[in-house]
Amino acid sequence: MTVKEETRELTLRQRHGRAINAVAELLRRELSVPNIYLEPPSSLISADVLAVDRGGAGDLHGVKIKLADDIDLSECQRWEASNPKEPDQLEWIAEFGEKLNGIHQQLMSMPANYRYLAIPVESFGMVYHELGHFGVFPEDGVGRLGFILITDRQEEPPTADLAVVPERFRMDPAKLKAIETKLLSKSRPGPDIYVRI
């Protein structure tokens, strides 16, 4: 008996969850024996995925995921086909800039050695260009934001690919200590994904 599965529209939460899994799989492949936390407590770190390299004893890799609903470019694409610089377009550009500024501030304050923004592959050009106004490097020059591109493949699982390699940021020792104590210690529940040794 063949069961025909009906294609239905996924909710934003479901699409976000699928993107989290794709990012976690990318980090699992790229890092050395990582411990991966899916949606760690926001009181500790504003990341959707946190990977701790070298079996939980290494660098912290924090990823913030922003999907098309978070950074909707459809309005911009509509205006590019019509007359540029209409009042509505200028208003949209200002709102888009405010959203990206908020995302930039979250990333720059994230307590992680390596920080990434994961976005849909079709958003990369505009987001990377606009984030350039705020800077992919911190003011002290130590570190660089990495970019992960999410490709939605409809019924197939989405994929995540590294587009811009991050560089190491400085870590606030107090924030690192809080993460180690409240999330990474042996007495806490373990990571969501890890390698049994």
Span 95-124, mean pLDDT?
92
Q: Give residue 79's pLDDT.
A: 45
- Model confidence at 76: pLDDT above 70: no
* DSSP letter (8 states) at residue 182: I
Cα–chain center distance at 189: 23
CA gap 16, 133 in Å, rounded: 27
Query: Does any domain span residue 192?
Result: no
Query: Does any domain span residue 115?
Result: yes
Q: Give residue 106's pLDDT.
A: 93
Query: Does any domain span residue 5?
Result: no
Q: Give residue 190's pLDDT.
A: 84
Contact predicate 112/169, CB 8 Å: yes
- Domain boundaries, position 17: 12-184
| Cβ contacts of 75 within 8 Å, gap of 6 or more | 89, 92
Query: Does any domain span residue 193?
Result: no
**DSSP-derived 3-state class of residue 99:** helix
Q: Could you tell me the pTM of the whole model?
A: 0.87
Q: Give the count of domains, the chain.
A: 1
Contact predicate 70/102, CB 8 Å: no
Query: Does any domain span residue 106?
Result: yes
Residue 26 pLDDT grade (very low, low, confident, very high; cuts 50, 70, 90):
very high
Q: Which two tokens stand for residue 143?
A: 């570190």
Query: Does any domain span residue 6?
Result: no
Query: Does any domain span residue 1?
Result: no
Q: Give residue 135's pLDDT.
A: 85
